């Protein structure tokens, strides 16, 4: 793990920071339709293409998209 990974994980573990980042940096129309009240942190575990299991390497969030 890189020395700054843990700091980023702690920073992006907060829904308000994720919301501010998406609204302030991501320049795509769908961001205006995201329902940030539904932000939910999900497991960062997954299975790779060659069937190896990975645990906790990523910060994953789920958010609902409202009406366009």
Q: What angle do CA 61, 62, 63 make, to 5 degrees?
A: 125
pLDDT at 43: 77
- Phi first, then psi, for residue 27 (nearest 5°) are -105, 70
- The per-type count for the chain, helices as H runs and strands as E runs, is 2, 4
pTM above 0.95, yes or no: no
Domain of 12, in residue numbers:
5-65
pLDDT at 18: 93
pLDDT at 56: 64
State how many domains the chain has. 1
pLDDT at 11: 84
Rounded CA separation 67/40 (Å): 19
User: Along the chain (68 residues), what's the average pLDDT of each consecutive run of 10 residues?
Assistant: 74 92 93 95 79 73 85
């Amino acid at each position: 793990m890189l020395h700054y990974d843990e700091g980023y994980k702690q920073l992006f573990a907060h829904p308000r920071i994720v919301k501010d980042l998406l609204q302030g940096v991501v320049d795509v129309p769908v961001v205006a339709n995201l329902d940030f009240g539904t932000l939910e942190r999900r497991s960062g575990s997954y299975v790779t293409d060659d069937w190896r299991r990975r645990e906790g390497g990523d910060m994953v969030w789920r958010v609902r998209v409202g009406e366009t």
